[in-house]
Amino acid sequence: MRSSPSIVPADRLDRDIYLVADDFGRAGSAWRETDMESADLETVLQDLLAGEYRRPSRVAFNTSERWSEDVSEDVAREIQHQCNLQLTDIPSNLQEFVDRYAAQDTRQYSSRLV
């Protein structure tokens, strides 16, 4: 049996690709369309924090290592970390995502030292 060709261009094989599943309510959930240049972790984090996703439900995968894994916990912790560093609240569209995936001990506290 022959293997099928990769759907990922050869020049993109040696990096992680991050896709976000978004919940559209009654319309259902779908993997959001993403430009190949915008599928890196930093861009996905920026887009999440900027409100580009309605209700993100999970983030996944790596083509070079041939894995597909839910990395939502890591992404939720990074969102929490960035908001803590910037002394900002988690955006409302991400609160449920962070609550679901971030570990209890890394959650943002409502009172901050000023």
Q: Could you write out the DSSP letters of every residue in 68-104?
A: ----HHHHHHHHHHHHHHTT-PPPHHHHHHHHHHS-G
Model pLDDT for residues 76-101, shown as the tens digit of each residue:
999 999 999 999 999 999 999 999 98
Residue with more model confidence, 106 or 82: 82
* DSSP conformational letter for 65: T
Task: Look up the pTM and report it.
Answer: 0.70
